[in-house]
Structure 1
Amino acid sequence: MRRLARLAARTPADRERYLDLLRALAIVLVVLGHWAIAAVSYDEHGRPDGHSALTAIPWAYPLTWAVQVMPVFFLVGGYANAASLAAHRRRGGDAGGWLLGRSARLLRPTSALILVLAGGALIARLAGAEPAQVRPVVWFATIPLWFLAAYLAVVPLTPLMYALHRRYGLLVPLVLALLVAAGDLGRALGPAALALPSYLLGWLAVHQIGFAWFDARRGHCRPLDAIPPAVTTEDRTTEGRGTEDRAGRRLGVRSRCLPMSPRAAAAMLVGGLVVAVLLTGPGPYPVSMINLPGQRLANAAPPSVALLAVATAQLGLILLLRERAERWLHRSRPWQAVIAVNSVVLTVFLWHLSATVLLVGALHGLGVLPTPAAGSAAWLAWRLPWVLMLAVVLAVLVAIFGPIEARTGRSTTSQPPGRWAVARTLLTVAGFAAVVYALAANGAAAKTAPEPLGVPVVALVAYLAGAGTLRLLRSGWEGRG
């Protein structure tokens, strides 16, 4: 508690604390959503098997508009990445050094999960388990890595995308959204391959909005009262290319700033909801924002225009609550709680399905594993004790593995001379690419594939090579400043 109090006291006055709260809430909602929607049954071999109960409870489809919070995480990530990149450049660093430093906090907890799961799979194999028995367990525990693969693909593009944002502003996410719409058209009419870039473009669009929030928060768009009197009305129109919000910031698709006024937030909330309803009601998109079997236009993988509409509504609601939340977060206890969650937030996310595996295995071993039919009264009654028991298991896992993340401080890297800076940047990007490939390959491999280590060998080798390269680069250029 004393450490949390010290960290809270050292928080800069201009920090956007609300973003930290949003990150924590987003992960908590993901965890609770996955736990609450889980249904456990026995397969034909008498082994426990898990699946989503969402198909059995269609009345819950609209609730996914609130619990599908991946857009919130990318929004917060965009702000955080823009802020850290700007600070790194003010200290004289380059984009390669920034990317290298960013890798530490993301990959250390991830490496712990992958190595523990691969080691556990090896022990199970030595104990006589068949590869076809090991893979489903590891596959389920590594489902969170799908999201991490998308985020790790976006992060290396931050310097380029932020440069585009500084030049073209909100026009960039608009163009990205149009490309997502083209991908949706390909899924609906063919060829379906047109939608493959949407796995990246959809999340990049949301990530760009985080840049616009950062610029608005830091005053990178000049308010009216900061424009010198000598500037003419014509000059103002040319510079701003739009109208103004109540804070005086220039709006329009060429603006770099996110409109933050209550009126703009309400327009996003209502407009996003109206578009989402039209797309999922009379339109061709499913109501659920979480993918279900058999959906041709699934909303989450890849992101669809309907999901982007829901993300717009979420953004509007977030902005409407911002000022009140910021005031609340300037109290000591709420802010300390947010700091505590964020210090292990990635660990919580990565291990929450492993907690499910451990609890199911323990209850099965004791012969007391309940398997009520999904959506039944017994299944609903089992939700509360189920979630509480999982929370206990996850708390133990976080106590064990959380320090790996919590003790990962801010990584700073010195600037290498001349050609070595280019070489370091290229190796850093290659390391990220290897990690993204590994996580995506693991997720794409069949759930029942006979993988001796649970994770495909090629994916495991690629991950270790990429993460190892990044670790060596950090060791070689770490600074103490």
Structure 2
Amino acid sequence: MTVGAPAFRNPAEVEANTPVTRDRAIDVIRIGSLVGVVVGHTLMATSTLRNDVFIWSNLLTAAPALQALTWIFQVMPLFFFAGMAASVGSWSPGTSWGNWLMHRCTRLYRPVFYYLAFWTAALAVLGWVLPRHVYEPVAGVSIQLLWFLGAYVLMLATVPLLARITTARCLVWSVVAVYLFIALVDVVRIAMAGCSALGYANLVVWLIPGMLGVGYRRGLLSGRNALTVGLAMVAINLALVWLGPYEPSLVGIENQTLTNMLPPSLLLAGHAIMLCALVIAAVPAIRRWARRPRAWWLVAVGNSGAMTLYLWHIPALLGMHLVFDYVGLPRYNPGGPGFVALSVIQLLIMVAAVSALFVLLRRLENRPLPLWDGGFVADPGCRSGAVGVLLCAAAGATLGSAGWGLKDQGIVCVAAMLVALAAARLLAVQRPANRANCGQ
């Protein structure tokens, strides 16, 4: 067995079949970041029903003092960091970029097809049984979390560029350049009316954890230096909040004057640097922990269904909130009676529900999907480039769909995503290595 195979094995078997060269810290960081997202969503999500209107909100809106917790639970930069650290070693200059990206998108999008099929069927039924203003918020939240997949694939697509980071100097200047670019964009969009859309240029923020992932993989940043950088960024981020105009919440909340998440801000960029630097400093301790057979078994099993864990916690969370709301037990007002007890109960329910969904559905993530798996482009060239561009277009549409969910323009974005993925797969057919791609 290899780590990540579909079947559960006991800790001794997992340990025995783990290559000695495997960087266990990366696996811990990857699954740890996703577990942090699930826990954060569970604790922060609030909802209630008012006159047949489903109000899906966030605990941070009602309790601004808790916004600092997002500095702990906003851990998605670590997933990007771990993903690039794990992937960059498989890239070789002069090989097929489209094939490299197709290989990763095959695994990433495989569970998404099942997820979209579920929501399409579920919303078709819910549209008949739920009031309009309950249905629409549910449809809007349904695929909101796919923003991560779009941004992640776009970061992976830059591997030919990021793989050129081979020295500490190059790493530092690359990160600084992106950070200063984001700072410039923020200055313009804050100072000039009508330039708010310029903030979406700050999506380049997701290159920062990718760069640091490359730097980690190549040993360009020592633990001591990483700790220094991480602590320095803590101070800089605190200063940005103290001096303004940045607000402390690193996730989107109602009435936020300047968002930090979408579009990204300089504070999120600094947060990404801080998290990645601190985790590099903590890698020796993480590796020691991951040597424990039971701990490593949990990490290996979790990573075998990482996308399943990430995707399917949202239907469980929405379903649980709707049930509680309809029976008259909304978790909405943090100052209300029984709020803490209700929070504990819902957390336990989510642990059970997500665990059951993980066991039930993780095989779909690991089982080849007919007509999707098997794409291959042997050589670099026009065909390879076209496949890569189509996958980037699909990622962009995936990112765009998160703004609407499975309604309105979100449906158009999802359709565009599926068309681009289908076109990429049709082009990704195996060719002999000695034939050029152009003109085929």
- Residues 23 and 375 of structure 1: is their aligned pair in 2 closer, same or farther, counting only changes over 3 Å? farther
Structure 2: distance between partners of 1:372 and 1:283: 29
More off after superposition, 462-471 vs 326-335: 462-471
From 208, 229, 234, the counterpart of 1:205: 208
Structure-1 residue corresponding to 2:262:
301
Task: Show CA shifts across 1:187-211 (max 9, x none).
Answer: 2102333322102x11112211111
TM-score by length of 2: 0.86
More off after superposition, 68-77 vs 4-13: 4-13
Q: How does 1:24-423 map to 2 (within 5 A)?
A: 24-45=31-52, 47-86=53-92, 93-125=95-127, 127=128, 133-163=134-164, 168-190=170-192, 191-199=195-203, 201-216=204-219, 257=220, 259-262=221-224, 264-364=225-325, 367-376=327-336, 378-407=338-367, 416=378, 421-423=380-382
Structure 1: distance between partners of 2:130 and 2:324: 19
Tell me the amino acid that sits aligned with residue 355 of structure 1.
A
More off after superposition, 333-342 vs 433-442: 433-442
Q: CA deviation at 1:359?
A: 1.7
Structure-2 residue corresponding to 1:245:
none
Structure 2: distance between partners of 1:340 and 1:283: 43
Q: CA deviation at 1:287?
A: 1.7
**Counterpart contact for 1:413–1:478, Cα < 8 Å:** no
- Residues 313 and 149 of structure 1: is their aligned pair in 2 closer, same or farther, counting only changes over 3 Å? same
Q: CA deviation at 1:15?
A: 1.9
**Counterpart contact for 1:31–1:352, Cα < 8 Å:** yes
- Residues 457 and 327 of structure 1: is their aligned pair in 2 closer, same or farther, counting only changes over 3 Å? closer
1:296 match: secondary structure: coil
Structure 2: distance between partners of 1:132 and 1:426: 44
**Counterpart contact for 2:30–2:303, Cα < 8 Å:** yes
**Counterpart contact for 1:71–1:203, Cα < 8 Å:** yes
TM-score by length of 1: 0.79
**Counterpart contact for 2:71–2:250, Cα < 8 Å:** yes
Task: Show CA shifts across 1:395-421 (max 9, x none).
Answer: 232233211113459x8866536xxx4
Q: CA deviation at 1:473?
A: 4.6
Q: CA deviation at 1:435?
A: 2.0
2:296 match: secondary structure: helix
2:57 match: secondary structure: strand
From 401, 415, 423, the counterpart of 1:469: 423
Structure 2: distance between partners of 1:305 and 1:271: 15
Structure-1 residue corresponding to 2:403:
444
Tell me the amino acid that sits aligned with residue 183 of structure 2.
A
1:444 match: secondary structure: coil
Q: CA deviation at 1:176?
A: 0.7
1:2 match: secondary structure: coil
Structure 2: distance between partners of 1:450 and 1:18: 39
Task: Show CA shifts across 1:74-129 (max 9, x none).
Answer: 2112212212324xx6xx8422211111111110011111121112222344x466
Aligned residues: 420
Q: Where in structure 1 are there 5+ consecutive unaligned residues?
A: 217-256
2:164 match: secondary structure: helix
- Residues 10 and 459 of structure 1: is their aligned pair in 2 closer, same or farther, counting only changes over 3 Å? same
More off after superposition, 316-325 vs 367-376: 367-376
Q: CA deviation at 1:144?
A: 0.8
1:49 match: secondary structure: strand
Structure-2 residue corresponding to 1:425:
384
Bigger radius of gyration:
1
More off after superposition, 295-304 vs 372-381: 372-381
Q: CA deviation at 1:278?
A: 0.9
Structure 1: distance between partners of 2:80 and 2:303: 15
- Residues 318 and 440 of structure 1: is their aligned pair in 2 closer, same or farther, counting only changes over 3 Å? closer
- Residues 292 and 49 of structure 1: is their aligned pair in 2 closer, same or farther, counting only changes over 3 Å? closer
- Residues 5 and 422 of structure 1: is their aligned pair in 2 closer, same or farther, counting only changes over 3 Å? farther
Q: CA deviation at 1:370?
A: 3.1
- Residues 130 and 364 of structure 1: is their aligned pair in 2 closer, same or farther, counting only changes over 3 Å? closer
**Counterpart contact for 1:329–1:335, Cα < 8 Å:** yes
Task: Show CA shifts across 1:208-244 (max 9, x none).
Answer: 111111111xxxxxxxxxxxxxxxxxxxxxxxxxxxx
Root-mean-square deviation (CA), in Å?
A: 2.9
Q: Percent sequence identity over matched residues?
A: 25
1:40 match: secondary structure: strand
From 370, 395, 412, the counterpart of 1:458: 412
